[in-house]
Amino acid sequence: MDAAEVTRQVERNLAAKKSLYDSLSKHIGAFDSAEMSLAGMAKYGLRKLGVEAPRGQRVSYLQAYLQGMDKASKTTVATDAAPARRKGNFLDRHFHKEA
């Protein structure tokens, strides 16, 4: 492995840690991840969230879990189309009623 490949690998690892930290801290709050590896951060996050995962797949389990939580928290609001058309305006209908 040459120096350029090592640099790329370190940069990828740092980017993955930052991405996981950003997603995880939304749900469990801020935590010190400076000395954690990616796998260690996943283990910590899973423990805090109360999720069980197989040893070799903790990172992918946590990422999938967090992605599912993010999608579940997004709400979609639908409204009716246009209100029913009525003759006259509000004042005419309520104050000038024909008896």
Whether residue 20 contacts residue 36, with contact meaning beta carbons closer than 8 Å, is answered with no
Cα–Cα distance for residue pair 66/26, rounded to 1 Å = 9
Structure tokens at 47: 């423990």
| Arithmetic mean of pLDDT, 21-39 | 92
Q: Would you say residue 92 has pLDDT above 90?
A: no
Structure tokens at 94: 């309520």
What is the pLDDT confidence band of residue 78, given thresholds at 50, 70 and 90? low
What is the pLDDT confidence band of residue 1, given thresholds at 50, 70 and 90? confident
Burial profile 57-93: b = 16 or more Cβ within 10 angstroms, e = fewer: ebbebbbebbeeeeeeeeeeeeeeeeeeeeeeeeeee
Higher pLDDT, 70 or 2: 2
Question: Position 44: which residue type?
Answer: Y
Q: Would you say residue 53 has pLDDT above 70?
A: yes
